[in-house]
């Protein structure tokens, strides 16, 4: 697939390849979207006949698009990027030709000639001889279809999506306008998190025929017979009353001339149809399709220009700016143009304050590690609104979010990550939020022992300092050791937030709690090992088990090796606990030499930077980071080493290529490595930071650091403080090859 677009060679958007991450479990999609946009218009190709590869490999169902499936059934308008569970992928448009059919297995088409760039996607549907193009505003999509001569159709399918929510309704306002809603929000198949997405759809040509369809109850075995399956659909020609059901849709029929273009607009809201219409009217009042493509490109160029790089190869720049593009997809704006949004928990409507945004899609177990620190540095105004959104969720729902989606808590993953994000943001200087409410929310999560969704098993944690495995070998809390480490890191952050609030006794109490990880240390293996309720180590224990996400007692999506150094808040203490620097370096190096390190999952992604904690061994971090950048990331569809997790792997790459990394959220020191580019110019927001510019200048060749300077003075530490960096200046690095 080639990246083709109208961007000039000098534009930053020309380096973005949205196909990166659409294979190798990356779970991204190449659809058209604005920075932090509510709507994205993506090709949808995760449904097809049984002989196609997608039906044999359900791993791709968390995304609307997989690079390897040649069968496309529409273009969805609400989507997620880089997630491990399916949801959204709804409001599917599809242009077709020939006799009308609304069976997606019959009207689906192979496709080629794909083009993608920020804010634009197009492809050619081979079965229908139709060119399909799409772009987006923040809350609406716009599609342009170029038809051949003959009978042509535009279909809106509300019965197709990534999850199995039931319920949709729609009707014709006029032959050229349809309104309705579809139930979505069944993330990871968790029941009870559904909510409606409302829409208004308009087409710019009057149809010769129009109507609705509804799929009738299926008979046993009928879906194996395409002809019988087609007969399941009942048509309602010219129908203008509401039609509801689990699988309903719209058809519009036209007689088109050769190369005739028809455009479709869809406005979206999570509050009401009225708001969906207002979003559409406000964001697409007039203007051509090409003008909206240009508008999207301009928006992306502006946001990407917060960081400008010089030097490096074209491939390096493509990896870097595509990673930044992926980071800016989620969390995304939730409120409508009038400021309304659904309250957390689905009860009522909230209103944002003027000039602020309400955000959604907080995959916090992933993103607390690097996405939010990166947003704090590059887009502090956005990160501050995200913190405000989290605090507001506590006001509305009673708890901070863990994995929030569309103002619903999905409960996915473990730990108390919002406490970490809020503290980290505050310590980076983003303090303009309700700190009293935030403190109350954090203390509640840290102290409640009954029905605590953020810290299950908190009673045992408070009593013993760790989560145990019961005598029968079962866990009451997923990943007892891993989850304890997450609570430790949250407590360490809460201690520092309490200190900022002048709560000295709380500071010392939570700081002490954060050190309970030491109970897991097994001196014989020099590794962290799960504990039984009686305090003894689990007997049947393989430190390498869990590498391929197979369930393993004590650990969450990882092995003992991936967690044994996951004590970012106390690395000096962890080194001492393990027998000193030599043993630490030996074990950490073994992780890379023996393939015990995993770049595709979160628990150990800071490992390449941890050699910096041992004087004289910093070169190992420079080597490890370089190897990871070169080996795990590339410019093809599989160019992300696994699920991007709403930008987490992309954020790692951005930091690594810039040469510094927040190995411990809440700690303001970045661990240093060798920058990839000759010059990196970071535009700082002077409304939040003392300076408006930070520069990184690199001389020489190679991927090892020979000398460094900070603002003209020799710099010998391999950590550099965030609050010093945002005062502005120049970090200069001299590179060499060993």
Per-residue pLDDT of 600-651, as tens digits, reads 989 999 999 999 999 999 999 999 999 999 999 999 999 999 999 999 999 9
Q: Give the model's pLDDT for residue 550.
A: 85
pLDDT at residue 57, as a whole number? 45
Scan for tokens 């700081």, then name that residue: 511
* Residue 118 maps to a domain: yes
> Quick check: is 383 in a domain?
no
- 178: its two tokens: 């349809």
Inter-CA distances, 692 with 288, 681, 687, 732, Å: 36, 10, 9, 18
Give the domain extent around 120: 12-303
Residues contacting 64, CB < 8 A, separation 6+: 29, 31, 42, 43, 44, 45, 46, 76, 79, 88, 89, 162
Helix (H) or strand (E) holding 571: helix 571-577
Angle of CA points 154, 158, 163, to nearest 5°: 135
* Helical (H) or strand (E) element with 442: helix 435-447
At 559 the three-state DSSP class reads: coil
Alpha-carbon distance 40 to 17, whole Å?
16
Kindly state whether residue 36 falls inside one of the protein's structural domains. yes
pLDDT at 402: 97
- Tokens 């020799």 belong to which residue? 714
Looking at residue 588, its pLDDT comes to: 98
Q: Is residue 131 part of a domain?
A: yes
Per residue in 327-353, pLDDT tens? 999 999 999 999 999 999 878 999 999
10 Å CB burial of residue 395 (0-12, 13-18, 19+) is: middle
Q: How many domains does the chain have?
A: 1
User: Cβ distance 163 to 184 under 8 Å?
Assistant: yes
Residue 196 vs residues 34, 158, 191, 532, 568: alpha-carbon distances, Å:
22, 12, 14, 44, 40
Measured CA to CA, the distance from residue 193 to residue 519 in angstroms comes to: 37
Phi, psi of 658 (to 5 degrees): -85, -20
Confirm whether 54 is domain-assigned: yes
- Asked whether residue 255 is assigned to any structural domain, the reply reads yes
**Bond before 331 cis per omega within 30 degrees:** yes
Burial class (CB in 10 A: 0-12, 13-18, 19+), 651: buried
Mean pLDDT of successive 10-residue stretches along the chain, which has 738 residues: 46 98 95 98 77 43 88 96 92 97 93 97 98 98 98 96 84 97 85 87 97 77 49 82 93 98 98 98 96 98 98 97 98 98 92 97 98 98 98 97 95 96 98 98 97 96 94 83 98 98 98 98 96 93 88 93 98 97 98 96 96 98 98 97 97 98 98 98 98 97 97 98 98 95
Rg of the Cα trace of the chain?
26
Q: CATH number of the domain at 208, please.
A: 2.70.98.10
pLDDT of residue 53: 42
Let me know if residue 393 belongs to a domain: no
Say if 3 falls within a structural domain: no
3-state DSSP percent of the chain in helix, strand and coil, to 5: 30, 25, 45
């Amino acid at each position: 697939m080639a990246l083709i677009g109208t961007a000039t060679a000098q534009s930053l958007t020309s380096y973005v390849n949205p196909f990166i991450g659409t294979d190798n479990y990356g779970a991204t999609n190449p659809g058209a979207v604005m920075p932090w946009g509510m709507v994205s218009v993506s090709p949808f190709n995760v449904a097809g006949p049984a002989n196609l590869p997608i039906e044999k490999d359900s791993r791709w169902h968390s995304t609307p698009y997989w690079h390897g499936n040649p069968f496309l059934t529409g273009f969805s308008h609400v989507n997620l990027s880089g997630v491990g569970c399916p949801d959204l992928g709804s409001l599917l448009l599809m242009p077709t030709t020939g006799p009308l059919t609304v069976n997606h297995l019959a009207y689906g088409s192979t496709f080629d000639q794909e083009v993608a760039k920020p804010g634009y996607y197009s492809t050619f549907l081979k079965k229908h001889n139709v060119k399909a193009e799409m772009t987006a505003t923040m809350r609406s999509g716009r599609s342009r279809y170029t038809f051949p001569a003959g009978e042509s159709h535009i279909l809106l399918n509300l019965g197709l999506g990534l999850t199995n929510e039931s319920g949709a309704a729609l009707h014709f306002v006029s032959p050229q306008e349809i309104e309705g809603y579809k139930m979505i929000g069944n993330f990871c198949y968790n029941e009870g998190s559904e909510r409606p997405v409302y829409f208004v759809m308009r087409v710019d040509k009057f149809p010769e025929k129009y109507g609705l369809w509804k799929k009738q109850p299926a008979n046993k075995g009928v879906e194996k017979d395409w002809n019988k399956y087609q007969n399941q659909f009942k048509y309602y020609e010219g129908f203008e009353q509401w039609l509801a059901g689990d699988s309903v849709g719209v058809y519009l029929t036209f007689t088109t001339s050769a190369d005739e273009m028809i455009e479709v607009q869809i406005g979206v809201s999570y509050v009401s149809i009225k708001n969906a219409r207002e979003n559409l009217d406000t964001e697409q009042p007039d203007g051509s399709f090409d003008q909206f493509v240009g508008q999207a490109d301009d928006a992306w160029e502006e946001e990407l220009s917060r960081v400008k790089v010089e030097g490096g190869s074209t491939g390096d720049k493509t990896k870097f700016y595509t990673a930044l593009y992926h980071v800016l997809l989620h969390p995304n704006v939730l409120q409508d143009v009038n400021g309304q949004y659904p309250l957390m928990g689905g009860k009522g409507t909230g209103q944002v304050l003027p000039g602020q945004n309400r955000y959604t899609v907080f995959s916090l177990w992933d993103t607390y590690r690097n996405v939010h620190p990166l947003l704090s540095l590059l887009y502090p105004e956005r990160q501050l609104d995200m913190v405000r959104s989290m605090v507001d969720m506590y006001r509305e729902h009673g708890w901070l979010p863990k994995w929030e989606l569309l103002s619903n808590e999905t409960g996915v993953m473990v730990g108390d990550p919002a406490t970490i994000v809020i503290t980290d943001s505050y310590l980076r200087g983003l303090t303009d939020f309700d700190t009293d409410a935030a403190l109350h929310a954090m203390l509640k999560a840290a102290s409640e022992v009954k029905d605590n969704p953020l810290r299950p098993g908190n009673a045992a944690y408070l009593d013993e300092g760790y989560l145990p495995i019961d005598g029968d070998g079962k866990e009451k809390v997923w990943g007892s050791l891993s989850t304890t480490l997450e609570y430790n890191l949250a407590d360490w952050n809460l201690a520092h937030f309490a200190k900022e609030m002048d709560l000295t006794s709380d500071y010392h109490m939570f700081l002490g709690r954060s050190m309970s990880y030491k109970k897991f240390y097994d001196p014989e293996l020099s590794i962290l090992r799960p504990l039984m309720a009686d305090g003894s180590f689990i007997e049947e224990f393989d430190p390498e088990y869990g590498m391929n996400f197979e369930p393993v007692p004590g650990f969450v999506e990882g092995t003992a090796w991936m967690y044994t150094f996951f004590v970012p808040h106390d690395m000096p203490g962890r080194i001492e606990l393990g027998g000193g620097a030599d043993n630490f370096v030996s074990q950490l190096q073994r992780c890379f030499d023996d393939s015990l390190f995993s770049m595709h999952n979160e628990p150990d992604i800071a490992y390449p930077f941890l050699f910096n904690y041992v004087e004289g061994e910093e070169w190992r971090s420079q080597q490890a980071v370089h190897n990871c950048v070169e080996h795990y990331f590339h410019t093809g569809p599989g160019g992300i080493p696994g699920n991007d997790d709403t930008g987490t792997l992309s954020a790692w790459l951005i930091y690594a290529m810039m040469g510094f990394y927040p190995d411990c959220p809440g700690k303001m020191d970045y661990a240093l490595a060798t920058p990839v580019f000759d010059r990196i110019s970071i535009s700082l927001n002077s409304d939040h930071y003392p300076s408006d510019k930070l520069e990184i200048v690199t001389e020489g060749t190679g991927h090892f650091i020979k000398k460094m300077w900070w603002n003209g003075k020799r710099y010998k530490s391999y950590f550099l403080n965030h609050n010093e960096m945002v005062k502005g200046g120049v970090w200069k690095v001299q590179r060499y090859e060993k």
